[in-house]
Amino acid sequence: MLADVRHAAPNYEPLIVGAMARDLLLHYQHGVPVARATVDIDLAFAVADWHEFHSLRQALLSTTSFTPGRPFQHRVHHRDGLPVDLIPFGEIERSDGSIVWPEDASVMGVLGYREARASAATIILPGGKTLFTVSLPMLAILKVFAWSERHLRSPRKDASDLFLILESYLNDEQISRLYTEGAHLLEADTFNFETAGAWLVGHDAKKNLLESSAQPERVLNTVNTILQTEVDVEGPLRLVGETGTAAEQSRLLLIAFQQGLMSEITSNRAVE
């Protein structure tokens, strides 16, 4: 599918976001079980305006590899049957980080997509083919925004993905970092690996934002505002209520994630 995209639109490099990014970075790379199946793939493209986006979409549809999709105006279907959602971001955005689909005036948030592209992870596929996917820390940010925007009409989906990232981040490759960047976590009486991993997700997301964004505070403040309400023990606890697991443990994971996001970064050098 990606080869067909590149063949049809060679001037654009897609960024994989959404559930497929989750699967690539957690399931296929580290063997983390995934409960929610991936039924489509989200590809994000940086474009200047709607004319450029429609030209990109038409370039795909002008080949035999893609056909128009329904019910969404930004969906196409690959010849193998896979639904593909095309998500524009970049100069096409409004000042609040949203886009307005011209066909029906529906609004979609794409805040954080620029930073996700600038800090993307590189995946090497069989045969040496490469692709770019949003990193896990930035995917967690995007999942918070997606949940805030659509949890009333699509409950549980974004929440389950977010908590899977928070619970699974502290793998063998990351654990040594607890002794350097997260030593204070080891000293806490309430230490556990899952909340330590959630803190690292937030910490790494902030690093990504500081290194890749011209306005990191814009994204940080927005996600912090959402989390502040959702970690309040006297608040609605809507986000933790969608996990299907122990609400208090989920709340503690969100608190750790938030604390990582607000943590002090001592160096802007990317973590090796």
Could you tell me the domains of the chain?
Answer: 2-134 (3.30.460), 137-261 (no CATH)
pLDDT digits (tens, 9 = 90+) for 156-171: 889 999 999 999 998 8
pLDDT band at 82 (very low <50, low <70, confident <90, very high): very high
pLDDT band at 271 (very low <50, low <70, confident <90, very high): very low
Q: What are phi and psi of 83, to 5 degrees?
A: -70, 135
Single-letter amino acid, residue 79: R
pLDDT digits (tens, 9 = 90+) for 178-226: 888 888 888 887 788 889 999 999 999 999 999 999 999 999 999 999 9
Give me the torsion for CA of 170, 172, 174, 178, rounded to 10°.
80
Task: Report how far residue 16's alpha carbon sits from residue 22's, in angstroms, rounded to the nearest whole number.
Answer: 10
Reported as half-sphere exposure (CB side, CA atoms, 13 A), residue 15 has a value of 25
Task: Look at residue 6 in the predicted model and tell me its pLDDT.
Answer: 94
CA 148 to chain centre: 13
pTM (predicted TM-score)? 0.91
pLDDT band at 270 (very low <50, low <70, confident <90, very high): very low
pLDDT band at 83 (very low <50, low <70, confident <90, very high): very high
* Average pLDDT value for the chain: 90
Q: Is the dihedral of CA 227, 233, 239, 243 positive or negative?
A: positive
Residues contacting 61, CB < 8 A, separation 6+:
67, 68, 76
CB of 161 closer than 8 Å to CB of 143: yes
CB of 169 closer than 8 Å to CB of 135: no
66: left (phi over 0), alpha (psi -120 to 50) or beta: beta
